[in-house]
Amino acid sequence: MRGTFALLLITCAGGILGCQLPHDWRPQTEACRAELAEIIVYARVLAMHRDSYSVYNYLPWQYDTELFFSAEIELLCDQAWGSMLEVPAGSRFNVTGLGYFPCYSYSVTENNAYYFFLRMDENFSIMPHGVNFQDPIFPDTPENHRIFASLFQFSNCTAGTQVHTYTPEWEAQEDSRLLCSTVQKALFEEEEKVRTLSQKVRFLEKTNNHLRDKVKNMKRLLRQSKRETKDQTHHLKQIHEPQVADNGHQHHPQQETTHNQDKTLKKVLTKKLKD
């Protein structure tokens, strides 16, 4: 019951902390991660030992030693090809840093065999190597045998342990093949470039749509302004035309005076001619 409650607390703490991976994180296959692991072993767990508080199992309730443990393991085969630690089959040593942590758990059970990705810390302790923030412990299954078999192509295994069938072509394949992790890294870099370009395209599309809306708005205002100007011109024309028509029928006072003067002048001339 105590252990269950502690695991619930770990889950809650993990949710609060967020356990955020890097923004450019991508999952990697087991084969690719194996190329990056420092140490790879195929081993059986002989015994489990509870661990006390250390830098690898820090939690606010670090004194609950039911959560953390180390495992004594026995190598069933020689070191995998490329491992940094060179020990033969049958060797025994402890793997620390196992247990239940806020964002992950590394767990094994006694008398079962596993493939381990391991690393050595500055204190020469052997602990799980979580390459690419993924699980470094793989159970003994036919599928995992198939995945990891080529890593042990030059290894001697204990009696009754068969993880591969050696063929001479393996060495040539090992020399000629491209590193999966290198190819995958290049693919991830290209994917990141595509993502960056996609973000730029979305930004430009958004800016372009904004400019389109702005142009549409300007055209609408221009049409509205033209309509208002046309209406005002028509209205002024309607007001001005009646005034012009009325002025065409009315006599100017100066014109009336000139007409009267002409009449008077004619009368005077007529009278003089009679005299």
For 80-114, what is each residue's pLDDT tens digit? Answer: 776 777 888 889 999 998 988 778 889 999 999 99
Give 143-156 pLDDT, tens digit per residue.
888 888 777 766 77
**Closest residue by Cα to residue 41 from 143, 120, 123:** 120
H helix and E strand count, the chain: 6, 7
pLDDT of 136 > 70? The answer is: yes
Average pLDDT, the chain: 75
List CB contacts of 271: < 8 A, sequence separation 6 or more. Answer: none
CA–CA distance from 27 to each of 11, 30, 31, 147, 185 (Å)? 22, 10, 12, 16, 11
Longest C-alpha distance within the chain, in Å?
Answer: 171
Long-range contact set of residues 17-26: C-beta below 8 Å, sequence gap at least 24: 17/102, 17/103, 19/102, 19/103, 21/133, 24/188, 24/192, 25/132, 25/133, 26/188, 26/191
Task: Please choose, from the candidates 181, 168, 192, the residue with its C-alpha nearest in 3D space to the C-alpha of residue 117.
Answer: 181
First to last CA, the chain: 154
pLDDT number for residue 164:
60
Answering whether pTM is above 0.85, one says: no
Q: How confident is the model at residue 239 (pLDDT cuts 50, 70, 90)?
A: confident
Q: Quick check: helix, strand or coil at residue 228?
A: helix
CA distances from 232 to 229, 239, 244 (A): 5, 11, 19
Which uninterrupted H or E stretch holds 32? helix 30-36
pLDDT tens figures, 169-214? 555 555 545 567 676 677 677 777 888 888 889 899 989 998 998 8
Closest to 148 measured CA to CA, from 139, 158, 160: 139
Report how far residue 52's alpha carbon sits from residue 66's, in angstroms, rounded to the nearest whole number.
9
